[in-house]
Amino acid sequence: MNLAEARSTLQAARRVVVLTGAGISAESGIPTFRDAQTGHWARFRPEDLASPDAYHRDPELVWEWYAGRFRDVMQAQPNRGHLLLAELERQKRAEGGSDAFTLVTQNVDGLHQRAGSAAPLELHGTLLSARCEACGHVQPLPDAATFTPPPKCEVCGHRMRPHIVWFGEFLPDDVLALAELQFKRADVALIIGTSSLVYPAAGLADRTRSHGGLVFEINPDETPLTQRASFSLRATASEGLTRLMEARDA
């Protein structure tokens, strides 16, 4: 399939589902999870900062790291890739209703929402919220400039933890189940800026393929998905989406 055919297929698709990874946010200056461990944090392994054991051992240290990441993402801005996906969502939902487009993300930075995407499915949680250790209530963090961790639950007053899926934890069942359903039902799945190495997210594209849908990949590098994709663009998220949607932009 060439670019013109992919463009036409995307335009005609009744149901589109998208999976985004760290690559789309890299263009906004958001470091990947491992790249975020610089300076003072370089001496820590990921498991030292992002696991239930780490939090149980030193919640203040873990919260200090997450509060810094929260401040960083709130200073970043959505890039053209985020904005184009929000535009595609508006177009598809105007044509076919709310079920015509689903955005699933492995990112925790909230940039899709700030670009205008409506309620993306966040597989790994979000830096912008905390979850109560006692009652499970989820609430947004306060203003990043004044936030002092740890937050207290507005329902029961207990200490809260970052609303993030850590090493050793499972993805939320309801979010994963809905993502799998939408990938099964999709005419076209766009896989953008993800390595396609980390499961179960890496297996979502095959849900589309096994049910007769097409998979389009946008990534600067070849991935394990590339050979199985119906169409693959070696490009950044913003470059690839611009090329894939330019006929609609004209």
Residue 59: pLDDT over 50? yes
What confidence category does residue 177 fall into, taking pLDDT thresholds of 50, 70 and 90? very high
CATH class label, 3-30+78-124+171-249: alpha beta
The pTM (predicted TM-score) of the whole model is 0.92
In whole angstroms, what is the distance from residue 81 CA to residue 29 CA? Answer: 13
Average pLDDT over residues 4-19: 97
In whole angstroms, what is the distance from residue 188 CA to residue 216 CA? Answer: 7
**What pLDDT, on a 0 to 100 scale, did the predictor assign at position 81?**
97
Specify whether 124 is catalytic. Answer: yes
Q: Where are the CATH 3.40.50.1220 domain residues in the chain?
A: 3-30+78-124+171-249
Residue 138: pLDDT over 90? yes
What confidence category does residue 250 fall into, taking pLDDT thresholds of 50, 70 and 90? very low
Which residue bears the tokens 């203003």? 143
Catalytic residue among 124, 158, 163, 211: 124
Calculate what percentage of the chain has a pLDDT beyond 90: 86
Residue 45: pLDDT over 60? yes
* Domain 31-75+125-164: CATH superfamily, name plus number: SIR2/SIRT2 'Small Domain' (3.30.1600.10)
Range in 26-35, 50-59, 63-72, 192-201 with the lowest mean pLDDT:
26-35
